[in-house]
C-alpha cells in the first residue's frame, strides 16, 4: 500500500450542494473560435461516448469517435431495459436531489465519492430534459406528462422509462445527436475499429493505436485529449448479461500504460436474469429489475419440491424477500436480492430443471391490475422470456437467477473525470466513480449521460484550455513504440500455434472467477483462484489456436486479444477482493457478515478507494484514496 502517488481527487471545497456549481463557475474555458484547433479522441459510442462526442462536436471541437461495432447505435447501452433515475419529484412523493444522492450513496454502501454522487443527482434532471427534447419517447400518462415507476433501493418513484427499452431509446437519442455532428463534420466516426493501445508521452495521453476489424489495418490517432467510454468488464466471467463484444481491453491497455485501476473487485451480479440452461450457453439474459415492481419472488418452503409452481399452495411458499425485508420487500437493492437468491438455491430450494432459479411471480399483479396493464408495462420482457425458455410467464411464474451484469470498478478518475494520466478522461461504466460497491437500478444510464452530456464537456474544456496552440502528431517515438509493441502482441497471439480455440480458455477463466470472485468471496478461495488463473493463463499462451491472419476480419483474433487482457484483470480482481478484508455492497466476503447474513463493513480500515498501479506483470501497488462523508453518516444499510 502506498499513501502517496495518487494525485489529488480535485474535489472542490464548500458545501456539498454548491460544489459542482462553484467548480463549474471557475473551470477554464476555450473560446468558440479556438475550439476547432483541438482534437479530441473518444473511444466507445455508448451512452457516455456518444453523448460526449456529440456534445464536444456541438461545442466546436474536432472529435474522432471509435467503436468496435458496425455502427455506433449498437453499443451495449442499448440493452438497458428498466429506466433512468432523475430527481424531478414529478410524483410529489418527497423526492429531491438530496434524496437521490442519499439513496445512491447508501446503495453503494458508502464506498463512493460523496461529491461525485451529489453531482450525478444534480444533473439527473437536465438529462431528462435533454432526452425529451431529442425525441426520446418516454412513457407518458394520459394527461401527456411523463410517467415514473419505482426501482430497487428507493422509496420514491423517480424512474423514467420507455417500456422495457429505455436504454435503446436513450442511446438512439445520443446516437442521433452524434449522427447530426457527423453530418456537420465536427465528428469523424470510425466504426469496426478497436483501440488496442493508448499512447502516453511524458505521463500524458496523446493518442491511440487502432486496428481496423475488417481489413486488419493499423492506424494512429493523435489528440489533445483521449476519452475512454468503453464500458464495463464483467465478460471476465464469460457468462454475463453483457454483449459478446464487451471487453476490458481499452481501459486495461491504459492501465498497463500507467492509469490506476480502482476497486476492480466491485462487480454487480444482477438478481433477475434467466438461469443458465446448458453447458454451451454463450451468454445470460437479463430481465429488467422493474419486474420486481409487480412480480413477487418466492421459492418453495421445502427442499426438493417437485410440484409445478401453480400447484404449490400459498402456505408452502416462501416469499423470502418480503419476509426478511418488510419495508423494501421485493425492491431491495440488487446485491441483497442476488445474495438471498443464491442462499435459497444453495439450501436446495431452487426451482427449474436444474434447480438453479427462484420464481418471479406475476399472478397477483395480473389479478389486481389485469393482464393488459401488465402487458403494457412488461410485454417485451415477457415475450423475450418466452422466446428463450419456451415458457409463458403470463401462466406460470418466471424463473430467475443472478448473473454478472455491471462493473462498479474501473479506471480511477478525479472529480474532473480525468485519470492519473494527464489528458486521459474516463467516463461511464469504464470509470469507478459514482456507484461505490453496488449500483442502484436505473443509475447506469443516468451516469453515462451525466458524464457525457453535462460533466466531461466542461472538464475537458478546462483541461484543453491549458494546451492551446500545441500541435499533435502521430510521428513521435511514443507512437512508433506503441504501434510496434501492439503489432507484436497480436503476432504473438497468432504464433502460439496450439490446439484449442480461445473460447475454451475464456470459459475456464470465467468459471474460476465466478466461483471464487463472484457473488460471495473468501480468502482461501481468492488465493486459490489467483493460482488457477495463472495456470490457465499459461495454458492460454502455450496452447491457443487462432486460425487465419491479422490482415483480415478475424473475430477469433479479436477475442483472443480481449481474453488475454481478461486474464490479467481477473488476477487483479482477486487481489483487490483479497485485500479488501470486509464486506461491502456487491463485494461480499463470507468472513464478514452479520448474524443475519448481511454485509458487514469495516469502516475504520476500509473507507477508501483502492487504486492499483501496475508495476509489472502480476505485480501491483495499491494506492488509497480516503473517502470522507460530510452530508451522510455511513450506517449499516438496512432495507428491513
Partner 1 sequence: MKITLEVWRQDGPRDAGRMVRYQTEVSEDASFLEMLDALNERLETEGDRPIAFDHDCREGICGTCGLMINGVAHGPRDRTTACQLHMREFTDGDTIRVEPWRAAAFPVIRDLVVDRSAFDRIIQSGGYISVSTGAAPEANLTPVAKPVADAAFDAATCIGCGACVAQCPNGAAQLFTAAKVSHLGLLPQGQTERWDRAVAMVETMEAEGFGSCTNHRECEAVCPKGISIDWIARMNRDYLSARLRRAGRR
- Range 91-130, binding partner 1 (CB under 8 A): 126, 128-130
Site for partner 1 (CB under 8 A): which residue of 310, 553, 605, 636?
A: 553
Applying CB under 8 A, does 286 fall inside the site for partner 1? yes
* Residue whose entry in the numeric block shows the C-alpha cell 469496426: 192
Applying CB under 8 A, does 371 fall inside the site for partner 1? no
Question: How many residues in the shown chain lie near partner 1 by CB under 8 A?
Answer: 83
- Range 71-90, binding partner 1 (CB under 8 A): 71-76, 78-79, 88, 90
Q: Which stretch binds partner 1 (CB under 8 A): 163-171, 462-470, 476-484, 571-579?
A: 163-171
Neighbours of 474 (CB within 10 A): 17
For the CB of residue 281, give the shortest distance to partner 1 in the complex, in Å: 7
* Residue whose entry in the numeric block shows the C-alpha cell 503489432: 487
Site for partner 1 (CB under 8 A): which residue of 36, 140, 308, 371?
A: 140
Closest by CA position to 39, among listed 59, 63, 65: 63
Nearer to partner 1, 71 or 636 (CB): 71
Adjacent-strand bridge partners of 61: none
Q: Which stretch binds partner 1 (CB under 8 A): 6-14, 64-72, 513-521, 586-594?
A: 64-72
What is the rounded distance in angstroms from the CA atom of residue 342 to the CA atom of residue 465?
Answer: 51
Q: Which residues contact 567 (CB under 8 A, 6 or more apart)?
A: 509, 533, 536, 537, 540
What is the rounded distance in angstroms from the CA atom of residue 192 to the CA atom of residue 583?
Answer: 40
Nearer to partner 1, 15 or 353 (CB): 353
Nearer to partner 1, 166 or 419 (CB): 166
Nearer to partner 1, 139 or 478 (CB): 139
Applying CB under 8 A, does 166 fall inside the site for partner 1? no
10 Å CB burial of residue 180 (0-12, 13-18, 19+) is: middle
Is the separation of the CB atoms in 269 and 404 below 8 Å?
Answer: yes
Taking the CA atoms of 612, 615, 618 and 619 in sequence, report the sign of the dihedral they define: negative
Nearer to partner 1, 134 or 593 (CB): 134
- Range 376-395, binding partner 1 (CB under 8 A): 383-384, 387-388, 390
Applying CB under 8 A, does 315 fall inside the site for partner 1? no
For the CB of residue 297, give the shortest distance to partner 1 in the complex, in Å: 22
Strands of the sheet with 424-426, listed across from one edge: 187-190, 62-66, 39-43, 225-228, 424-426
For the CB of residue 45, give the shortest distance to partner 1 in the complex, in Å: 11
Is the separation of the CB atoms in 440 and 153 below 8 Å?
Answer: yes
Q: State the virtual CA torsion across 114, 117, 122, 124 in degrees, nearest 10.
A: -170
For the CB of residue 1, give the shortest distance to partner 1 in the complex, in Å: 39
Q: Which stretch binds partner 1 (CB under 8 A): 181-189, 262-270, 303-311, 564-572?
A: 181-189
- Range 444-483, binding partner 1 (CB under 8 A): 453-454, 457
Applying CB under 8 A, does 142 fall inside the site for partner 1? yes
Long-range contacts of 89-93 (CB under 8 A, 24+ apart): 89/156, 89/158, 90/145, 90/146, 90/148, 91/148, 91/156, 91/157, 91/158, 93/156, 93/157
Residue 237 cell numbers, joined: 466471467
Applying CB under 8 A, does 169 fall inside the site for partner 1? yes
10 Å CB burial of residue 65 (0-12, 13-18, 19+) is: buried
Nearer to partner 1, 131 or 312 (CB): 131
Q: Which stretch binds partner 1 (CB under 8 A): 51-59, 198-206, 305-313, 330-338?
A: 51-59
* Residue whose entry in the numeric block shows the C-alpha cell 497471439: 493
Site for partner 1 (CB under 8 A): which residue of 83, 207, 223, 245?
A: 245
Q: Which stretch binds partner 1 (CB under 8 A): 313-321, 462-470, 497-505, 514-522?
A: 497-505
Amino acid at each position: 500500500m502506498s499513501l502517496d502517488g495518487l494525485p489529488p481527487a480535485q474535489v472542490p471545497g464548500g458545501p456539498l450542494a454548491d460544489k459542482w456549481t462553484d467548480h463549474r463557475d471557475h473551470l477554464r474555458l476555450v473560446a468558440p473560435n479556438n475550439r476547432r484547433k483541438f482534437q479530441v479522441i473518444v473511444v466507445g459510442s455508448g451512452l457516455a461516448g456518444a453523448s460526449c462526442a456529440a456534445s464536444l462536436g456541438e461545442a466546436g471541437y474536432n472529435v474522432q469517435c471509435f467503436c468496435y461495432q458496425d455502427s455506433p447505435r449498437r453499443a451495449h447501452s442499448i440493452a438497458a431495459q428498466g429506466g433512468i433515475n432523475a430527481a424531478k419529484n414529478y410524483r410529489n412523493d418527497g423526492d429531491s436531489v438530496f434524496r437521490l444522492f442519499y439513496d445512491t450513496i447508501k446503495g453503494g454502501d458508502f464506498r463512493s465519492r460523496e461529491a461525485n454522487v451529489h453531482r450525478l443527482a444534480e444533473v439527473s434532471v437536465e438529462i431528462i430534459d435533454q432526452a425529451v427534447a431529442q425525441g426520446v419517447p418516454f412513457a407518458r400518462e394520459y394527461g401527456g406528462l411523463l410517467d415514473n415507476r419505482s426501482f430497487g433501493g428507493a422509496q420514491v418513484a423517480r424512474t423514467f422509462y420507455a417500456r422495457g427499452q429505455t436504454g435503446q431509446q436513450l442511446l438512439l437519442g445520443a446516437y442521433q445527436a452524434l449522427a447530426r455532428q457527423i453530418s456537420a463534420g465536427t465528428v469523424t466516426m470510425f466504426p469496426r475499429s478497436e483501440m488496442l493501445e493508448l499512447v502516453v508521452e511524458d505521463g500524458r495521453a496523446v493518442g491511440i493505436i487502432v486496428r481496423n476489424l475488417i481489413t486488419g489495418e493499423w492506424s494512429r490517432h493523435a489528440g489533445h485529449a483521449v476519452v475512454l467510454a468503453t464500458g464495463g468488464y464483467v465478460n471476465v466471467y464469460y457468462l454475463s448479461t453483457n454483449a459478446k463484444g464487451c471487453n476490458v481491453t481499452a481501459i486495461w491497455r491504459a492501465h498497463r500504460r500507467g492509469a490506476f485501476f480502482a476497486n476492480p473487485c466491485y462487480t454487480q451480479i444482477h438478481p433477475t436474469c434467466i438461469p443458465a440452461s446448458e453447458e454451451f450457453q454463450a451468454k445470460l439474459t437479463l430481465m429488467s429489475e422493474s419486474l420486481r415492481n409487480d412480480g413477487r419472488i418466492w421459492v418453495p418452503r421445502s427442499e426438493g419440491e417437485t410440484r409445478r409452481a401453480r400447484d404449490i399452495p400459498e402456505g408452502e411458499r416462501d416469499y423470502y424477500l418480503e419476509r426478511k425485508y418488510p419495508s423494501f420487500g421485493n425492491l431491495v437493492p440488487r446485491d441483497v436480492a442476488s445474495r438471498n437468491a443464491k442462499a435459497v438455491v444453495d439450501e436446495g430450494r431452487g426451482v427449474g430443471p436444474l434447480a438453479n432459479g427462484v420464481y418471479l411471480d406475476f399472478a397477483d399483479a395480473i389479478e389486481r391490475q389485469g393482464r393488459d396493464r401488465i402487458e403494457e408495462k412488461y410485454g417485451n420482457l415477457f415475450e423475450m422470456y418466452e422466446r428463450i425458455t419456451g415458457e409463458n410467464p403470463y401462466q406460470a411464474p418466471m424463473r430467475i437467477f443472478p448473473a454478472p451484469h455491471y462493473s462498479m470498478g474501473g479506471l480511477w478518475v478525479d472529480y474532473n473525470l480525468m485519470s492519473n494520466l494527464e489528458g486521459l478522461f474516463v467516463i461511464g461504466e469504464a470509470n469507478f466513480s459514482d456507484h461505490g460497491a453496488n449500483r442502484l437500478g436505473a443509475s447506469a444510464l443516468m451516469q453515462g449521460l451525466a458524464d457525457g452530456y453535462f460533466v466531461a464537456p466542461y472538464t475537458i474544456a478546462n483541461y484543453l484550455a491549458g494546451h492551446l496552440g500545441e500541435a499533435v502528431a502521430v510521428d513521435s517515438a511514443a507512437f512508433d513504440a506503441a504501434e510496434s509493441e501492439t503489432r507484436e502482441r497480436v503476432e504473438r497471439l497468432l504464433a502460439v500455434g496450439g490446439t484449442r480455440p480461445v473460447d475454451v480458455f475464456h470459459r475456464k477463466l470465467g468459471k474460476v472467477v465466478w466461483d471464487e470472485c463472484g457473488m460471495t468471496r473468501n480468502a482461501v478461495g481468492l488465493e486459490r483462484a489467483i493460482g488457477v488463473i495463472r495456470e490457465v493463463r499459461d495454458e492460454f499462451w502455450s496452447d491457443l489456436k487462432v486460425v487465419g491472419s491479422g490482415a483480415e476480419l478475424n473475430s477469433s483474433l479479436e477475442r483472443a486479444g480481449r481474453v488475454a487482457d481478461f486474464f490479467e484483470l481477473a488476477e487483479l480482481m482477486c487481489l483487490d477482493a483479497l485485500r479488501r478484508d470486509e464486506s461491502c455492497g456487491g463485494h461480499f466476503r463470507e468472513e464478514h457478515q452479520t448474524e443475519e447474513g448481511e454485509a458487514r463493513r469495516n469502516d475504520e480500515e476500509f473507507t477508501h478507494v483502492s487504486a492499483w498501479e501496475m508495476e509489472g506483470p502480476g505485480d501491483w501497488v495499491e494506492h488509497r484514496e480516503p473517502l470522507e462523508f460530510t452530508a451522510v453518516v455511513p450506517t449499516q444499510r438496512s432495507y428491513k
